[in-house]
Chain A
Amino acid sequence: MSTEQDEPTAETTTDADEAPAQTPGDRRREEKQARMQVTERERAEAAAAADETVQLKVFRFDPEVPEKEEPRFDDFHVPYVQGMTVLDALIYARDEFDSSLTFRHSCRQAVCGSDALFINGSQRLACKTQLSALDAPVRVEPLPHQDVVKDLVVDMEHFYDQMEAVEPYMQSEEFPEGELEEQRQSPENREKIKMSTRCIWCGACMSSCNIAAGDNEYLGPAAINKAYRFAMDEREEDDIKEHRMRIMEQEHGVWRCQTQFSCTEVCPKDIPLTEHIQELKREAVKSNLKFW
């Protein structure tokens, strides 16, 4: 039933074999009108029924604004639509109710790692958490174990310091001779480091780790994972790997991990963090035993 057309445009998309009195386009437009009226009425009714709203309890704090100096929780009732995420609800609350509501967010698709929050008692990315998957009221707090700057914004400096403490950059120095020639890496090796390279620095793991909470110098799951990403990359020479193991073996390195799996459970990118830390522990023991 397709019609041959050179250039599809808005005007030329009708079917030929339909009732003559009324073009299919007209009919559809009428139906559309009718549908719209119905849906609008439905929406109005639903909104009136109030069970279409979701209650958010959001942590508020601002050291500079007198009424927010004492931390408190604010309630927002956000109209629910199918597919709505916690971030969508926060944006709605900010744009419609209180433009001083402050939280980091950028990509809305779980790659920038800005909006890791403590939602209903667990570290999650607000952008990839569907409201329908949560019990109401939805309690939204800044990440635990980090200083709160304002509302849902926490100080990430310590996290960044730890990430950068593990020398998170490729240090291999021997490159192939030829012009425009890459170093070789086996697909297996690439597969081995694949999960570890997915980290988006959201800090959820660090926030969930109660060892990191107690020991401020502990490198934490994300940084150790970053070190793993390089230590296991076959492109780096052996002496660099040994150097990396030295960093991992320090007192506040891998040994602090108590295999509680909290980090692994909250990681929005499903990185097997605990597994990586454990593997580095074994590597450390192995590389030391070699020299006995």
Chain B
Amino acid sequence: MSQSYDRGLIEDFGRWREFSAGMWAWILHKFTGWVLIGYLFMHIAVLSTAIDAASGDPATYTDTIQGLESLLVVRVLEIGLLATAVFHILNGVRLLMVDLGVGLEAQDKSFYASLVVTGGIVVASVPTFLGGGVV
């Protein structure tokens, strides 16, 4: 048996320029998914201050939330979170359509559309997020 040369997976990382729409969609979906589950854990952690609040000190909760919300960086991060969530949702809807066998031939266009719509929603939401209460 002749030996053979296995190029392994390394080559793939040099290939991102050649990735197709479907591949980018998959990568972004995975990435946004990781961010969102991370956020969910953080979110529950922050809300856990409610346990202290319930046992007599409502301010712990209110101050924590309002304190965080008053930071510009948190607001900006929230916009990022929105972008992440909106893309994940729109691409998720796209994937649901794919699962149902609807519009498969337009799968690349729907990916670009979800990117554009995400961008639009994020820009439109900036005033809501940045408005009011920032110190």
B4, B11, B17, B108: which contacts A261 (Cβ < 8 A)? Answer: B108
Q: Is the CB of B22 within 8 A of A265?
A: yes
Given A213-B12, A259-B22, A261-B20, the answer on whether A63 and B98 have CB atoms closer than 8 Å is no
Residues of B within 8 A of A260 (CB): 20, 22-23, 25-26
Chain A residues, Cβ within 8 Å of B22: 259-262, 265, 274
Q: Chain A residues near B95: list those with CB within 8 A.
A: 259
**A interface size (C-beta, 8 A):** 29
Residues of chain A within 8 A of B5, CB atoms compared: 61, 63, 71, 147-148
Tell which of B41-49, B66-74, B80-88, B99-107 binds the partner.
B99-107
Chain B CB within 8 A of A64 CB: yes
A121 at the A/B interface (Cβ < 8 Å)? yes
Whether A147 lies near B25 (C-beta < 8 A) is: no
Q: Is the interface of B mostly helix, strand, loop or mixed?
A: helix
Residues of B within 8 A of A274 (CB): 22, 98, 104, 107
Residue A67 CB within 8 A of the other chain: no
| Chain B residues with a Cβ closer than 8 Å to the other chain, count | 26
The distance in angstroms between the C-alpha atoms of A202 and B25, with both chains bound, is 26
> Which residues from A are CB-within-8-Å of B23?
210, 260-262
A282 at the interface (CB under 8 A from B): yes
Q: Which of B5, B12, B26 has the most CB of A within 10 A?
A: B5
Question: Given the complex, which residues of B lie within 8 Å of A122, measured CB to CB?
Answer: 18
A155: chain B residues at CB < 8 Å are: 4
A53 at the interface (CB under 8 A from B): no
Cα A150 to Cα B4 with chains together (Å) = 7
Instruction: Tell me if A171 is interfacial: C-beta within 8 Å of chain B.
Output: no
| Residues of chain B having any CB pair with chain A under 8 Å | 2-7, 9, 11-12, 15, 17-18, 20-23, 25-26, 95, 98-101, 104, 107-108
Measured CB to CB, the residues of A under 8 A from B are 61, 63-64, 71, 121-122, 144-145, 147-150, 155, 210, 213-214, 258-262, 265, 272, 274-275, 278-279, 281-282
Q: Which 7 A-B pairs have CB atoms at the shortest separation, nearest pair first?
A: A261-B22, A121-B18, A147-B4, A260-B22, A260-B26, A63-B3, A148-B5
